[in-house]
């Protein structure tokens, strides 16, 4: 659905079609607010960011709007999280080579060892927050959750009309939608995987993985 279609659905349910008391700018802000809340709670917006290595450059900018990293690949091979406190490289004279570890601090991705080659592809798989919404935007929240946003809007409509009970009712429905989206995304991430616990973080850079 487009934001305009979601707005129409909300206005029809509230019997507020053409009602200037709820301007379109307000509704677009509400759709963005709902998308942002679901995006931060359930991580449904999956993105892949690409950059390239620079020889002797350890630090790379954290992708804009990415709120969580699932995987980083260097030249097609996965590299693993390293505890920042256990990263021995404290200056530009540290070791170089093919990175097998990374740590994150202050929106910077630090690789260990520092890449020794320019032009290798670095892929960062992660979860993004949504962008601002306009009437003709393509929503980044998956389509199965678009109608759920109507309850978020209705809660705000009723709140503006000072109907606390109905506002709370729709806010509770929205909270249920968010919980369901979190379960849905968790289930999806488990698809085609073994139901076992795997060690993903290595607290010592000496535990090299190739």
Give residue-wise pLDDT tens across range 120-177.
Answer: 999 999 999 999 999 999 999 999 999 999 999 999 999 999 999 999 999 999 999 9
The answer to whether residue 158 is domain-embedded is yes
CB 48 within 8 A of CB 73: no
The HSE-up count of residue 92 (CA atoms within 13 Å, CB side) is 3
Whether 35 and 139 map to the same domain: the answer is yes
Q: What does the DSSP 8-state code read for residue 132?
A: P
Same domain, 54 and 19: no
Determine, yes or no, domain membership for 209.
no
> Are residues 65 and 40 part of one domain?
no
Distance CA 196, CA 166 (A): 43
Tokens of 152: 């978020």
Q: List, as own/partner pairs, every contact residues 155-161 make where C-beta atoms lie below 8 angstroms and the sequence separation is at least 24, other chains included.
A: 156/26, 156/30, 157/10, 157/14, 157/16, 157/22, 160/21, 160/22
Q: Is 197 contained in some domain?
A: no
Confidence of residue 187 (pLDDT cuts 50, 70, 90): confident
* Whether residue 36 sits in one domain with residue 59: no
Indicate if the alpha-carbon torsion angle 155, 185, 35, 11 is positive or negative.
negative
Report how far apart, in Å, the C-alpha atoms of 169 and of each of 130, 159, 161, 179 are: 26, 11, 14, 16
In a domain, 208, yes or no: no
Q: Is the pLDDT of residue 117 over 90?
A: yes
Q: What integer pLDDT is reported at residue 84 of this predicted model?
A: 76
Q: What pLDDT band is residue 83 in, cutting at 50, 70 and 90?
A: confident
Residue 203 pLDDT exceeds 50: no
pLDDT of amino acid 43? 84
| Whether residue 115 sits in one domain with residue 142 | no
Q: Are residues 65 and 136 in the same domain?
A: no
Asked if residue 61 and residue 27 are part of one domain, the reply reads no
Number of residues in the chain: 210
Looking at the fold, whether 27 and 57 belong to one and the same domain comes out as: no
User: How far is it, in rounded angstroms, from Cα 121 to Cα 153?
Assistant: 42
In total, how many domains does the chain have?
Answer: 2
Query: Do 165 and 121 lie in a common domain?
Result: no
> Roughly how many angstroms between the first and final C-alpha of the chain, as a whole number?
44
Whether 205 is in a domain gets the answer no
Residue 103 lies in a domain: yes
Residues 34 and 104 in one domain: no
Residue 79 lies in a domain: yes
Residues 135 and 180 both lie in one domain: yes
Longest dimension (CA), the chain: 67
Q: Which domain holds residue 97?
A: 46-127
Count other C-beta atoms under 10 Å from residue 86's C-beta. Answer: 15
Place of tokens 């709007």: 65
């Amino acid at each position: 659905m487009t934001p305009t279609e979601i707005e129409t659905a909300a206005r029809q349910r509230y019997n507020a079609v053409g009602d200037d008391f709820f301007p379109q700018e307000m509704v677009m802000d509400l759709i963005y607010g709902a998308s942002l809340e679901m995006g931060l709670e359930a991580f449904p917006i999956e993105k892949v960011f690409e950059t390239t290595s620079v020889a002797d450059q350890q630090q790379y900018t954290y992708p804009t709007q990415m709120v969580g990293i699932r995987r980083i690949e260097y030249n097609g091979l996965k590299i693993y999280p390293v505890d920042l406190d256990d990263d021995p490289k404290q200056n530009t004279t540290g070791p170089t080579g093919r990175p097998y570890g990374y740590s994150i601090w202050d929106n910077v991705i630090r690789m260990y060892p520092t890449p020794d080659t320019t032009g290798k592809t670095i892929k960062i798989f992660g979860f993004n927050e949504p962008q601002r919404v306009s009437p003709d935007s393509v929503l980044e929240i998956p389509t199965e959750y678009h109608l759920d946003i109507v309850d978020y809007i209705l809660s705000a409509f009723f709140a503006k009309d000072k109907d606390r009970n109905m506002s709370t009712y729709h806010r509770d429905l929205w909270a249920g939608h968010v919980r369901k989206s979190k379960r849905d995304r968790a289930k999806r991430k488990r698809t085609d995987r073994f139901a076992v616990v795997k060690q993903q973080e290595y607290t010592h850079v000496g535990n090299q993985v190739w």
